[in-house]
Amino acid sequence: QSLRNMTASSPWAGPFCAGARVKSIAVAGDMLFGVGLDDEVHLQALSAVGSSDKWDGSIALDASISSFTIAGSNVYGVGVDGKVYRQVATSKWELAARGPMRDVAIGQSAARWLKNDPTWSRSGGDDVGLWASAIADDNWGTPASEGPANLLGGGRWRTRWHDIRDQWFVLDLGGAMSVAAVRVQGALGEPGKSPRGLRLQFARGLLGPWSDAVSFEGAKEAWATAWLPMATMSRYWRLYVNDTWGSGGEGEDMCIVSGFALAAAPSPNVPQATPVAASPRAQVGVGCHERFVVPPKPVKATDYNGLELAPVCLNRTQGPHHVFIIGDWGGIVDKEGQPPKPADHRGDLFPEQQRPFVVGVDDAAQLRVARQMAARAPSSRPDYILNVGDNFYWG
């Protein structure tokens, strides 16, 4: 039924959704979730709702879900035990902490699945090692017809014989994009060649270094969907295959990916968000988000000079609203992973502040402030943290 045309006497079209009788539904991207009369959660693509395609299910093997809702890029379900669960893989749910429930109550728009573009990657013998770990070259196909660009154009990506572990292909989206989810389809008709252990990774450049955005388990022939714990902004992405379903001894000795898709993070005020060119004044991201989307950690503090974060719209009317403001902070890091050394204002340049060094305070000022902010955050629930600057020390 169309909400725009609904009246008290409007007839409904249907019934839809062959193969399942459901008592509640929710939509995430192009996927429709339904709780059936059997209290099992089922799944169907929106494009197949009016067809005879049956639903996939049950997808809630680790929890009995009675109802659920979509919040941003996450699917939350209320179990028959009254507890809230979050879907972390195709058939796996985990008990959710209290934190996400605020976002569930507020509600966020669903992620939007992107249309693949073959120019995001490459296919060819010269591209092996940069764009893909391996591409098949045998009697059944060549690198020009079996590479990741072919996958993005509706074909498939197939590795060489015996390349079944630690395989990957790289994407360059042409501009920074906030990604919320990933979908991967295994080898059609050849389940043993389907990827099993999967990781979606991001980087600042085509050569890495790569960081994991989400790890998940692939499905034999079918689609496996994974939602990122937090929407991640990057231009460069890599799908990494740890192993295949045949790696354990089923005799399958290559890896095949038959389908792939990325979902953009919610942009409630911009229906069609598109990547932006990587120019000096380009935005990092597009659209209007309900949360600030943080780009990957830069190598240098000046790496993002001239770039702007995607705009954020705080449309919620529920209050109160809190903001944490911090400034005049900073230090130097002697070793990666160690806390920073705060600038020392007790020296000769600051005679009015001269005093003895206090161990646990003067050498841990930023950590103490951070602990207080963390202690206050659960009660204040800040919408964002505003950095007012003057935080490049010592320089």
310 alpha carbon, distance to own chain's centre = 16
* 123 in Cβ contact with 149 (< 8 Å): yes
* 57 in Cβ contact with 40 (< 8 Å): yes
Q: Give dist(CA 224, CA 89) in Å, integer.
A: 8
pLDDT, residue 377, reads 86
pLDDT, residue 145, reads 92
| Average pLDDT of every residue of the chain | 74
Q: What percent of the chain has pLDDT over 90?
A: 17
pLDDT reading at 80 higher than 80? no
Q: Give dist(CA 374, CA 67) in Å, integer.
A: 32
Contacts of 172 (CB under 8 A, 6+ apart): 120, 121, 206, 235, 236
80-113 burial string, b = 16+ CB within 10 Å, else e?
eeeebbbbbbbbbbeebeeeeeeebeeebbbbbb
Between the alpha carbon of residue 144 and those of residues 118, 124, 140, 155, the distances in Å are 12, 4, 12, 11
Q: Give dist(CA 314, CA 282) in Å, integer.
A: 23
Lowest mean pLDDT among 85-99, 180-194, 218-232, 374-388: 85-99
Half-sphere exposure of 76 (CA within 13 A, CB side): 24
pLDDT, residue 357, reads 85
Amino acid type, 159: T
pLDDT, residue 158, reads 92
Lowest mean pLDDT among 52-61, 189-198, 208-217, 268-277: 268-277
Beta-bridged to residue 93, according to DSSP, are: 87
Q: What percent of the chain has pLDDT over 70?
A: 61
Q: Give dist(CA 272, CA 299) in Å, integer.
A: 31
**281-305: average pLDDT:** 61
- Tokens for 175, please give them: 């501009």
**321-346: average pLDDT:** 80
**279-308: average pLDDT:** 60
Query: Cα Rg for the chain, rounded, in angstroms?
Result: 25
pLDDT reading at 73 higher than 70? no
pLDDT, residue 303, reads 74
Q: Express each pLDDT in 98-119 by its tens digit.
A: 333 223 222 233 467 888 999 9
Q: Give dist(CA 273, CA 49) in Å, integer.
A: 25
Q: Can you spell out the DSSP letters for 210-272?
A: -EEEEEEE--SSSEEEEEEEEEEEEEEEEEEE--BTTTTTTS--S-EE-EEEEEEPP-TT-SS
**215-238: average pLDDT:** 86
The pTM of this model reads 0.46
Q: Give dist(CA 270, CA 292) in Å, integer.
A: 16
